[in-house]
């Protein structure tokens, strides 16, 4: 998997991809290639791969007195601004006010198998035989700095992970101003810059813009990865379709401020960079100290959008999601938020719980409003003890009752926040993120706690631990409902640490709390949430196997949100709740069938007043839950396919199949009805096999027919087929269950 040629060329490869690096004439680590697998490289290939020709770099042609070499157009693994390369660099470092134009030279390297999981910080991990890594040690002897860069390739996957740390090996302090986690240089192939953008209630919509000379970027400065952009980005050839064409994905295993950008120079060279956002960031590196940047990942597929969807899913499921939850079925949740909001007591909750149990649900999640005096979103965050009026016999008693119903119990927390109207704030006003000047902003009536302060983290842990123990808790919904403003930590100030380190230290504090909880309660299921999908990233998924993807539970909106999310994250990572009609976010009326069909791809839940349902609706829920339980493995961990172009949003077609393609489920969704539609009558399923015979919802159909004609869309109402149309009107759906009944050859 790792081939080293003449100690100057390094080739990470498997059957899908090759990633090639080389030592440049100035001893810097250069990039050669990332793309389809090249197989073993021979020495004559090395000569071919080595780049010899330099372009003119304007007026500055020479690197360091060597007049045959310039960095201007060289593909580099760690480009530095201020050299003959005028593009933005990956590392900026100062000694007091003096910039250091660092000159890292390859010093040594070593290879190793496997990658250890450590709860300290989120990062990819792999078993002994599942990955191979090469760690380079690069030294800048003159400026007394060292960088360790580790590249990992995984068995059978199109992903490369990159981890790096910088150490001060001298006697003077240094200041890091920018340390991007990953750089990928490649030639433009008529690429589009693909990103997942949106807002609260409409997260992760796929956007694609043609790359042109200049820089395009997305990022976050909110102290969280954010609703507006996501650290997952991609470059895809304009001609790339669902199943064909080049696509490169990049992601960052981090939940805080980030920047992802692509810069195109005058020679059509692209530099894709991803890392912590340099704005408002600098980090002091004292002699002997080391700073580690978050890990980045790069994925390649030449099988179009579905190729990337599947590569992303496999990588995240195997190498990011906590091992305990890999391939483990998730409970069907009932969440009381949209059923009751703050208006509940133990009695009301227990009757909802009983009802949910009788319909087949498996876990009761007690959402916001159970603690302190919390009857609205204006108070009590930070006071993590149960509300006596709502739980007169204590939260422990409530938990026993839930468990006695054979339900698991989940509880909502918002660990990083405090309400001004809380005991915690009265006792510890200094624990809040606020500048010593008067200006302080408030969001959703709450302040952000100073998670850069280990005492704050420990105190929240102790409070959560008590509740977890008292309730024998199975599940935590970890919410985070506002972003950071006027960032300032009294703790950092007291300890002589620069405020420019705050945002990153805050994130490390959040990860520390996850670590404490999971070390004490390794099997607890944590669902991430940040006002819906405001922190949907690989940092959170390293600890929480699933995330509440959006506060918008409308089934139509969710089609777009889920389709976007799937480009970078597995189906098992988003939980979908069937909610009320009309929907609480957009007031749309949709049928229960449509809502259930949309929510079934991924972990399923319900979040509506069960007592407002008719007997017929309850029966429908029961039936759906039974169906879901039979197919839960497939609907959580199956291989996902997008069967329609993601741009054609009026018809969404999702498919999943098991590992040997014996069983397939397809969800067909029609958003708005069309008059006398001109659209295709059939749709194609690329992974079907001509040599097999299938059964489609009970009907035998040969693979040849299915493959060549496609599957007939569910009949649509067109004014003359009254009575026979399977789907009629707006917001309609249909599920196909396909099984192999005969293998002909």
Residues engaged in binding ligand GLA (CB under 6 A): 337, 367-368, 377, 412, 479, 481, 529, 531-532, 548, 551
Q: Which residue lies nearer to ligand GLA by CB, 377 or 470? A: 377
Pairing between strand 98-99 and 91-95? antiparallel
Residue 304 near residue 247, CB atoms below 8 Å: yes
Q: Which single residue brings its beta carbon nearest to ligand GLA? A: 368
Q: Which residue lies nearer to ligand GLA by CB, 373 or 662? A: 373
Q: Which residue lies nearer to ligand GLA by CB, 154 or 478? A: 478
DSSP string, 120-176: TS----B-TTTEEEEEEEEEETTTTEEEEEEEEEETT-SEEEEEEEEEE-SSS-EEE
- Least Å from the CB of residue 548 to ligand GLA: 6
- Contact partners, residue 388, CB within 8 Å, separation at least 6: none
Q: How far apart are CA 124 and CA 542, in angstroms?
A: 8
- Least Å from the CB of residue 530 to ligand GLA: 7
- Least Å from the CB of residue 464 to ligand GLA: 16
Task: Report cis status (omega within 30 of 0) of the bond before 582.
Answer: yes
Q: Which residue lies nearer to ligand GLA by CB, 346 or 552? A: 552
Q: Which residue lies nearer to ligand GLA by CB, 339 or 711? A: 339
Q: How far apart are CA 660 and CA 688, in angstroms?
A: 11
**Nearest C-alpha neighbor of 421 from the set 374, 386, 474, 462:** 374
Q: What residue has token string 């199975």?
A: 474
Q: How far apart are CA 299 and CA 160, in angstroms?
A: 6
Q: Which residue lies nearer to ligand GLA by CB, 77 or 607? A: 607
- Least Å from the CB of residue 569 to ligand GLA: 17
Which runs of consecutive H residues, i.e. helices, occur in 211-303?
none
The tokens describing 203, both together, are: 């997260």
Q: How far apart are CA 16 and CA 178, in angstroms?
A: 33
Q: Which residue lies nearer to ligand GLA by CB, 547 or 635? A: 547
- Least Å from the CB of residue 368 to ligand GLA: 3
Q: What residue has token string 């980030």?
A: 258
How many Å separate Cα 97 from the centre of its chain?
37
Residue 603 near residue 572, CB atoms below 8 Å: yes
- Least Å from the CB of residue 364 to ligand GLA: 14
Pairing between strand 233-237 and 191-199? antiparallel
From residue 249, alpha-carbon distances to 13, 37, 79, 158, 259 in Å are: 17, 16, 20, 10, 15
Residue 220 near residue 229, CB atoms below 8 Å: yes
Q: Which residue lies nearer to ligand GLA by CB, 203 or 501? A: 203
- Least Å from the CB of residue 412 to ligand GLA: 6
Residues designated catalytic: 479, 551
Q: Which residue lies nearer to ligand GLA by CB, 103 or 338? A: 338
What is the side-by-side strand order in the sheet with 639-642?
639-642, 651-657, 663-670, 732-743, 692-696, 699-702
Residue 624 near residue 359, CB atoms below 8 Å: no
Number of neighbours of residue 439 by Cβ within 10 angstroms: 9
Q: How far apart are CA 76 and CA 74, in angstroms?
A: 6
- Least Å from the CB of residue 369 to ligand GLA: 7
- Least Å from the CB of residue 535 to ligand GLA: 11
The DSSP call for residue 473 is -
Which runs of consecutive H residues, i.e. helices, occur in 446-605?
454-471, 490-494, 502-520, 538-541, 555-565, 592-599
Q: Which residue lies nearer to ligand GLA by CB, 185 or 383? A: 383
Q: How far apart are CA 546 and CA 197, in angstroms?
A: 20
**Nearest C-alpha neighbor of 677 from the set 727, 643, 711, 735:** 727
Q: Which residue lies nearer to ligand GLA by CB, 149 or 349? A: 349
Q: How far apart are CA 456 and CA 463, in angstroms?
A: 11
Q: Which residue lies nearer to ligand GLA by CB, 136 or 337? A: 337
- Least Å from the CB of residue 481 to ligand GLA: 5
| Cβ burial 66-88 (10 Å sphere, 16+ → b, else e) | eeebbbbbbbbbbbbeebbbebb
Q: Is 234 helix (H, G, I), strand (E, B) or coil?
A: strand
Residue 284 near residue 501, CB atoms below 8 Å: yes
How many Å separate Cα 52 from the centre of its chain?
39
- Least Å from the CB of residue 379 to ligand GLA: 12
Q: How far apart are CA 324 and CA 318, in angstroms?
A: 11
Q: Which residue lies nearer to ligand GLA by CB, 401 or 551? A: 551
- Least Å from the CB of residue 635 to ligand GLA: 22
């Amino acid at each position: 998997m790792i081939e080293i040629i003449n100690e100057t060329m390094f080739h990470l490869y498997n059957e899908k991809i090759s990633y090639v690096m080389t030592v440049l004439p100035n001893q810097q680590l250069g990039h050669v290639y990332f793309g389809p697998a090249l197989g073993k490289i021979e020495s004559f290939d090395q000569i071919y791969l080595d780049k010899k020709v330099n372009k003119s770099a304007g007026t500055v042609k020479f690197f360091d007195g060597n007049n045959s070499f310039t960095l201007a157009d060289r593909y580099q693994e760690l480009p530095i601004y201020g050299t003959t390369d005028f593009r933005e660099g990956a590392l900026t470092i100062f000694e007091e006010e003096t910039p250091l134009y660092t000159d890292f030279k390859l010093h040594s390297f070593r290879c190793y198998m496997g990658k250890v999981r450590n709860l300290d910080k989120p990062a990819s991990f792999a078993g002994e035989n599942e990955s191979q890594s090469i760690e380079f040690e690069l030294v800048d002897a003159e400026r007394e700095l060292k960088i360790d860069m580790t590249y990992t390739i995984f068995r059978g996957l199109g992903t490369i992970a990159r981890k790096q740390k910088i150490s001060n090996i001298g006697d003077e302090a240094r200041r890091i101003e920018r340390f991007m986690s990953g750089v990928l240089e490649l030639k433009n192939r008529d690429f589009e810059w693909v990103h997942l953008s949106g807002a609260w209630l409409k997260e992760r919509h796929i956007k694609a813009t043609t790359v042109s000379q200049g820089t395009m970027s997305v990022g976050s400065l909110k102290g969280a990865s954010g609703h507006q952009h996501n650290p997952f980005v991609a470059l895809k050839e304009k001609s790339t379709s669902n199943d064909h064409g080049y696509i490169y994905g990049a992601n960052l295993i981090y939940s805080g401020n980030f920047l992802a950008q692509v810069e195109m120079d005058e020679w059509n060279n692209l530099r894709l960079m991803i890392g912590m956002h340099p704005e408002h960031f600098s980090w002091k590196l004292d002699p002997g100290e080391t700073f580690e940047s978050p890990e980045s990942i790069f994925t390649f597929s030449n099988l179009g959008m579905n190729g990337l969807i599947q590569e992303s899913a496999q990588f995240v499921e195997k190498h990011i999601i906590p091992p305990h939850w890999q391939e483990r079925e998730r409970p069907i949740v009932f969440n009381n938020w949209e059923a009751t909001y703050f208006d509940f007591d133990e009695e009301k909750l227990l009757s909802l719980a009983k009802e949910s149990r009788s319909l087949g649900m498996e876990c009761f999640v007690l959402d916001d409003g159970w603690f302190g005096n919390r009857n609205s979103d204006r108070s009590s965050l930070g006071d993590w003890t149960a509300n006596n009026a709502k739980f007169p016999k204590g939260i422990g008693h409530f938990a026993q009752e839930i468990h006695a119903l054979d339900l698991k119990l989940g509880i909502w927390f918002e660990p990083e926040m405090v309400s001004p109207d809380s005991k915690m704030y009265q006792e510890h006003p200094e624990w809040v993120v606020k500048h010593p000047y008067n200006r302080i902003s408030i969001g959703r009536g709450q302040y952000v706690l100073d998670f850069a302060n280990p005492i704050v983290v420990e105190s929240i842990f102790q409070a959560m631990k008590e509740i977890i123990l008292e309730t024998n808790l199975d599940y935590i919904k970890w919410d985070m409902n506002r972003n950071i403003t006027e960032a300032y930590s009294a703790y950092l100030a007291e300890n002589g640490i620069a405020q420019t380190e705050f945002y990153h230290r805050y994130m490390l504090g959040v990860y520390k709390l996850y670590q404490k909880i999971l070390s004490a309660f390794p099997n607890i299921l944590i669902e991430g949430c940040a006002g819906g999908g405001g922190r949907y990233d690989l940092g959170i998924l390293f600890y929480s196997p699933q995330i509440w993807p959006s506060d918008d539970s409308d089934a139509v909106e969710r089609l777009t949100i889920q389709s976007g999310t799937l480009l970078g994250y597995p189906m098992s990572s988003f939980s979908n709740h069937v909610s009320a009609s009309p929907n609480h976010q957009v007031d749309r009326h949709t049928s229960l069938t449509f809502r259930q069909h949309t929510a079934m791809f991924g972990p399923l839940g319900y979040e509506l007043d069960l007592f407002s349902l008719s007997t017929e609706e309850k029966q429908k829920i029961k039936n759906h839950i039974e169906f879901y339980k039979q197919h839960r493995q497939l609907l959580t961990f199956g291989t996902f396919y997008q069967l329609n172009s993601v741009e054609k949003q009026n018809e969404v077609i999702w498919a999943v199949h098991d590992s040997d393609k014996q069983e397939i489920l397809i969800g067909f969704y029609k958003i708005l009805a069309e008059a006398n539609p001109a659209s295709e009558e059939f749709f194609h399923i690329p992974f079907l096999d001509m040599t097999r015979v299938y059964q489609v919802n009970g009907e035998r159909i040969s693979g040849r027919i299915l493959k060549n004609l496609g599957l007939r869309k569910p009949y649509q109402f067109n004014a003359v087929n009254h009575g026979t149309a399977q789907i009629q009107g707006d917001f309609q759906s249909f599920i196909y269950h396909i099984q192999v009944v005969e293998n002909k050859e």
